[in-house]
Structure formats: structure tokens, C-alpha cells
Chain A
Amino acid sequence: MLFSRIFAVLIALALPTAAIAETVQIQTAQGLATVPARPHRVAVFDMAALDTLHLLGVKPAGVPDRVFLPELKPAAAGGEVVGTLFEPNLEALSALDPDLIILGGRSSPKAKFTSRIAPTIDMTIDGQDLVRDAEARLDAYGRLFGREQAADEARQKFRAAVAAARDAAKGKGRALILMTNGPKISAFGVGSRFGWIHSTLGIEPAVTAMAAAIHGEAVSFEFVRKADPDWLIVVDRAVAIGTGDSQAHATLDNELVRDTKAWKRGQVIYLPAADLYIAGGGIQAMTRVLAAVTRGFSAAQ
């Protein structure tokens, strides 16, 4: 009796201090960071983070004015607008008084300003190993917000989606990743931001000598014809940045591309561009991208 009373007093004494002092060490784009655990008010300036946090059931207190993807609207719903995807509004952010600010990619250069308002973590995902990075972020958010179990479940489902895409693409031939931008195209190789499609999914590249340019290389349609891939994997940049209907098909539908094996056999996979380009690395967005890959390769004769 006495023993348990002492114990209760001890816990009562320890609780408030524990709540203040409890921190967690997580992996960020800038290396390991120690941040306060289970923050209540979080401002998020990264679409991939918004996507993964939504999956874990974390509601952000502050969000950018536009989320670009209709799928992300519920993730941002209820959050206060505290800037744009590129530029946090420091006054609004300060008024929000968050416990933690999550930046990534497009907003990451602003870290030195936002860190004066609240602890800031840079969760940029650079794309060369997108699947590994996406999992690392999932794991970090799980531990940060005490949602380890949800994160574990999400990881298992995500790994299954990766495996499904890998199996679907296995032995189906060589692919060339193209991004269309209006009437122009760029090709992406193993070292690019879409390189994980080759390295993680095991899809053989049609052009092996591609330089490691992260943003791809501008190429002509002659280049595509010469590469003669079995598959074309297409990302429409115009759609990704929200300019309406996809014109990727119209851009590629010309006599030089029509000569490729990929076009002749109808083996052209259009990836959900915004999922990849804007929310690339978010677990739900990535799952949709992987599903598109699986569907595309499974449809092969």
C-alpha cells in the first residue's frame, strides 16, 4: 500500500518533467536530429510529408496555401494556411506558434528562418533512392509522433506494392523514362531523380550511358527512336505543375516515337505526374505510382 503510494507520487513528479524533456532522435535530410517527441502543433511545408503524416493519422496545424493534388486536400483540411509550398509566411507561422516545423525539397532553403520560430526539420527526399528515403521518413514520423504501429503496417503494405511492381516488370524488357514539358522532352537515367525506377524496381534502362543529371537531359525525338526502348515511362511535367490536361500523348505521338517498340506494342506507361513530381516520397502517393507501374507492365502481351 505504502509502496504503491510512493510509486504514484514518483510518477506524478516525473510526468511533467518527462513531457518536457522527452526527445527523439530521427533521421532527416541533414542527418540525425534530436527533436521534441510527439509535437502537438506541427507546420508542414512538404507534400510528401503531408501525405505520409495523413496516412499515420497526424493532423497538421499549419499547411501551405495550395496542395496541388486533390488526394492531399483531406490531409491539409483543418490546417491553418501559413505560407506557400516554396515560402513559409514567417508572421503567420509565428502566430501559429508550432512545436515543430517540417520542411522539404522546395521549402528547405528557408530552414534558417523558420528555425528561429520553432524546431525545424528538413525532410527533403532527393529521389535517387526514393523508396528507401520514403521508408526512412515513414519510420521517422512513426517514432516522432508515437505512431510506430501504424508506421509498421504502412511499411508492410508499401513493401508489398514495391514487390508487386518489381514482379510485374521482371523480364519485360528495357525502359526509357521521359518527361514531357509542352512540346519538348527530357530523358532520365539511373542517376536522376527518377533513377529509383531502374535501381529499386529492377527495370533495365534502355540507355545505360545516361549522365547522372538529376533533372534529366533535354533530348530530341531522334534520341528516343535510336534508344528504341521496349517501354516508355512518361511523366508529364505540365500536369504535375497543375496546367490541366495531359499533352504528353500528343507530344510523343509523332512519326519518330511511333517507330519505337514501346509505341508499336502500346507499352507506354503514363505515371501519375503530380504524385511523383510534387509528392514524390509520400507513402500514399508512391503507392499510386507503383500501382500505375504494376498495371502498365501487367498489361503487356
Chain B
Amino acid sequence: MTTVERTAPRLAGAAALLVLAGLCAISIFVGVGDVSPREAFSDPEALYLIAASRLPRTLAAILTGAGLAIAGLVMQTLARNRFVEPATAGTGQSAALGILIVTLLLPSASIATKTLVASLTALAGTSLFLAIAHRLPPTQPFLVPLFGLVYGGVVGAAVTFVAWHTDLLQFIEIWTHGEFSGVLRGRYELLWVSAAVLAVTWVFADRLTLMSLGRDVSVGLGLDYARMMQIGLAIISVVTALTVVIVGLVPFVGLVVPNMVSRLIGDNMRMLIPWVAGSGAALVLACDIIGRLLHFPYEIPVGTVLGVVGAASFLWLLLRRPSHA
């Protein structure tokens, strides 16, 4: 490998890190309370606001973005289809169903219990999706995302039906509209589990690359396919459930980010994972900053901003498709 080939990706990596760092800095200084960059480190008031509110919110956005983008990447690998993501193909809806069940059966359950139950239902929902998706003819790649949309719609309808019958329809909205306005020190820390899941994904990166070659090839190359399937499912379910419980359903990140990044840098997971995680973090953080600024001093939910940004980028993705495929 020549030095030029070595330095180009490194330069790109450094530039990307700079962008992320810049977004973090903006996020720290954007908010209702007075924190100016000049006094940030001398004024105790500003320091307090940063520690109690700005830093937790910034970290929550980063963890959510990185986690969801990776969950999307893993789901696309497992489904062997680029157009599925946890938020639309039933994982998020299954997690919401779990929250609904806990709310009905154990109204005073802690956040950790809610997360656990939501993770389990997300796991069940995603397993069923993948089991059916794998039976669809691989010659028709658009059947999988179509089925995913229908499946997510059916699970979502079940959530709506149960919520409607128990008069929790408006209550369940809390978890179906992702938002960071309630994030404070002490109210988001469970999201760090996403970081741990990210590390697990990194450990299994090469095996995930093999998986993307399909069952027969990967088994032929010595991969424990069933085992990897379980690990992948766990990654998707835990990250999605955590996000739904703590900030609510955040759409598009899992779909748009892995697609754009893999288009630019290829399909090697070892390379993809840091880029996908970083881009997901940057996208969600940027959208949250926009949501904080557009209607200042009030808030626009990050899910709403992402809906607009995500839809635009997805259209771009679809329209650009012919030139590459």
C-alpha cells in the first residue's frame, strides 16, 4: 500500500472527527440558558448548565445516532437487504408494544424493567420479521422492505389497537415521537449500554462482513451462522428498545446512514462500523441542534426534523440508485 492510499482515508477520518467535534461544540452552546463560549470555563453557572443539561443532551444524541445507525447496518446485513431498518420494519413498534404491556401490567415499573421488556418484545418482533424475510425470494429484493413496511405497520396497528382500547393512545405517543428535550444528567445514562453494544458489533465486524455474503458462502467459510444471527438480533433489539424507552422512536437514521456511508466507502464492516456510527451520531446531533434553533426558545422534536431531513436524503438515495446499481 502506498502512502497516498494510506493517508487519504486518514485525512477523511480526521475531517469527519472535526465535523463531529464541531457539532458537539455547537450543541454545548445552543440552549435556552446563557452559556457563552467565552465564559464557558470560568463562569460556574455556565459550567453547571453544561454539566447538568448540555453535555447529557449532546451525549444522548450521539449515543442514539450511533446506536441506531449501527442497528440499521446490522439489520440490513441480517436481512441481506439495504432498504430495511429497525424503526420501520417492526423492531421499534415491537418495543413500543413491550412498553405498553409493562404500562398495563406493572404501571410503576422502573425504566430498567421497561427497557428489558421492550428489548424482549423487540427481539421477538425482529426474529419473526427476519424469519419471514429469509423465506422471500432473493430474486426480488424489494419484497423484503415492502414486507418490512407491512410488518411494521401491522405491529404498529396492534400497538394502536391495544392503546385505543385501554385509552393509552396519547400516552404511547411519548415513545413514538423521539425527542431530547427531557434529557438531563441522571435521565439518559442507560443509553451508554448502546456504546457497549457498539463495541460488541466492532468485535464481530469481520464475521458480519462474512454474513453479508449469504448463508451458504459464510457457512462454507467457517462461520457459525445461527450464532451470528442471534448476536445480530440481540444488537438490533437492545439498541432499538433502549432508544425507544429513553428518547422515543427516531426514524430514518438506521436506513439513510448505512446506505450513504457504504456507498462511499464500500462494504467492509471493519471500515464501515466507525463511519456509520460517527455519521449517525453527527446526523442526529445536527437534527437536534436544528430542532433547538428553528423555534427558539421552544423545541421541535428531533424525530420531526429527521423526518424531513431523512425523507430528503432517502429520495436522493433512490434517485441516485440507477447510476450505481
Docked pose: A184 CA to B181 CA in angstroms: 7
Most chain A beta-carbon contacts within 10 A, residue among B103, B184, B186, B295: B184
Docked pose: A211 CA to B103 CA in angstroms: 34
**Are A218 and B301 touching (Cβ within 8 A)?**
yes
With a cutoff of 8 Å between Cβ atoms, the chain B residues found around residue A243 in the complex are 103, 107, 167-168, 171
1/0 contact trace for A176-198 toward B, CB 8 Å? 00000111110100000000000
Q: Is A238 an interface residue (CB 8 A)?
A: yes
1/0 contact trace for B168-187 toward A, CB 8 Å? 10110110000101101111
Docked pose: A285 CA to B182 CA in angstroms: 30
Q: Is B300 an interface residue (CB 8 A)?
A: yes
Nearest CB in chain A: distance from B44 CB, A = 13
Q: Is B52 an interface residue (CB 8 A)?
A: yes
With a cutoff of 8 Å between Cβ atoms, the chain A residues found around residue B148 in the complex are none
Query: Known contacts A66-B167, A244-B107; is A223 also within 8 Å of B32 by CB?
Result: yes
Docked pose: A220 CA to B182 CA in angstroms: 6
Q: Is A219 an interface residue (CB 8 A)?
A: yes
Nearest CB in chain B: distance from A116 CB, A = 26
Q: Is A263 an interface residue (CB 8 A)?
A: no
The contact sample of 14 A-B pairs, CB cut-off 8 A, is A182-B182, A184-B174, A217-B299, A218-B300, A219-B298, A220-B31, A220-B292, A222-B32, A222-B49, A241-B170, A243-B171, A245-B107, A255-B184, A256-B184
**Are A220 and B171 touching (Cβ within 8 A)?**
no
A residues near B (Cβ < 8 Å) are 66, 68, 181-185, 187, 211, 217-223, 225-226, 237-238, 241-245, 251, 254-256
With a cutoff of 8 Å between Cβ atoms, the chain A residues found around residue B182 in the complex are 182-185, 220-221, 251
Docked pose: A244 CA to B103 CA in angstroms: 10
**Are B179 and A184 touching (Cβ within 8 A)?**
yes
Nearest CB in chain B: distance from A241 CB, A = 5
With a cutoff of 8 Å between Cβ atoms, the chain B residues found around residue A225 in the complex are 32-33
With a cutoff of 8 Å between Cβ atoms, the chain A residues found around residue B174 in the complex are 181-184
Nearest CB in chain B: distance from A273 CB, A = 13
Docked pose: A226 CA to B184 CA in angstroms: 15
Q: Is B297 an interface residue (CB 8 A)?
A: yes
With a cutoff of 8 Å between Cβ atoms, the chain B residues found around residue A221 in the complex are 53, 182, 184
